[in-house]
Amino acid sequence: MTIQWFPGHMAKARREVTENLKLVDIIFELIDARLPLSSRNPMIDEVVHQKTRLLILNKMDMADEAQTKKWIAYFESKGHPAVAINSLEGKGLQTVFKAAKELLKPKWDRMKDRGIKPRAIRAMIVGIPNVGKSTLINRFAKKNIARTGNTPGVTKKQQWIKVEKEIELLDTPGILWPKFEDQQVGYKLALTGAIKDAVINMEDLAVYGLRFLQEHYPKRMQERYQLSEVSEDLVETFDHIGKLRRCYAGGGEIDYDQVAELIVRDVRSLHLGRLTFDFVEEY
């Protein structure tokens, strides 16, 4: 279900994340590896303040590998440590644990120097809807179902998942709102399935998708749709794809709705390969 964000919802979401920030040592900011900037909350820096943070690029298996590497380097150049994972298959989880321990090592060393025995690291996942927060929490839970439950000093409602010997994860993710002001961001989120199809004009989305493919992945587009060349005339391209895939309405006319759905489905289902929609070079 797509959340309709209004000022009241935003304030409530921010308040809930802020309250839970007090309980954790580190924030796992989950973003979609295909949309490393478009899938970030526009006010994330204000929301998490100075709390230690690890950027996690999820769904790396669906993103352009070369771009993912560039994005990790980009974020780290801005002072934001980042790792890439595939939460669905549990790939890269060890890199998350390792990075979290490294980031908090100075704090833990200071505690040891003062004679304080360090407890487990406590973490919380935050991110906009549909970036895979629940999948990641479930993956952690399946890895080690033991929960610490009502930890002293923690509100009774809070449940913690022991994901490693030295790491506990809050079982409720912090949900933040996506960007709204940029129409391109909306299209990108829709292409990855982060926005309900019912509220989208599918033809407009397919046109955006084809233009994006023309610019960034023309060879894949040619191979998938058996195009001798990439045409600037998108009606011609729609007609070609419609004939190729036999998308006909009554009377032998091309069914453009069907063609649009097919194009969007191809983009989402990796039929055009691993795609990234935010290119480092454009930022």
Q: pLDDT (tens digit, 9 = 90+) per residue, 168-218?
A: 999 888 888 888 778 899 999 999 988 888 888 999 999 999 999 999 999
Shared-domain flag, residues 81 and 143: yes
Higher pLDDT, 6 or 259: 259
The model's confidence at residue 149, banded by pLDDT at 50, 70 and 90, is very low
Binding site residues, as ranges?
58-61, 86-87, 130-135, 174
Sequential DSSP letters for 222-263: HHHHT-SS--S-HHHHHHHHHHHTT-B-GGG-B-HHHHHHHH
How many whole angstroms separate alpha carbon 18 and alpha carbon 257? Answer: 44
- Residues 14 and 153 placed together within one structural domain of the fold: yes
The CA-atom distances, in angstroms, between 195 and each of 187, 190, 212, 213 are 9, 5, 18, 20
Report the alpha-carbon distance of residue 73 to residue 104 in Å, rounded: 21
Residue 110 falls inside a structural domain: yes
Give the residue numbers of the binding site for GTP.
58-61, 86-87, 130-135, 174
Same domain, 145 and 240: no
User: Measured between alpha carbons, how far is 241 from 59 in angstroms, rounded to an integer?
Assistant: 28
Claim to verify: residue 145 and residue 220 sit in the same structural domain: no
Last residue of a domain, one of 122, 157, 175: 175
Same domain membership, residue 169 and residue 224: no
Band of residue 92 on the pLDDT scale cut at 50, 70, 90: very high
| CA–CA distances in Å: residue 117 to residues 111, 123, 264 | 7, 18, 53
CA 266 from chain centre, in angstroms, equals 19
Report how many domains make up the chain.
Answer: 2
Indicate if 215 and 92 belong to the same structural domain: no
Quick check: 51 pLDDT over 90? Answer: yes
pLDDT, position 123:
96
d(CA 163, CA 143) in angstroms, rounded, equals 7
Rounded distance between C-alpha atoms, residue 188 and residue 201, angstroms: 13
Cβ neighbours of residue 49 under 8 Å, at least 6 residues apart?
21
Supply the range of the domain harboring residue 100: 7-175
Token pair 């407009």 is found at 204
46 located within any domain: yes
Q: Do 140 and 71 share a structural domain?
A: yes
Same domain, 211 and 159: no
Which CATH number goes with the domain that contains 109?
A: 3.40.50.300
**Per-residue model confidence (pLDDT) at position 200:** 86
> Is residue 86 a part of any domain in this protein?
yes
Please indicate, yes or no, if residue 196 is contained in any of the structural domains. no
Asked if 185 contacts 42 with a C-beta cutoff of 8 angstroms, the reply is no
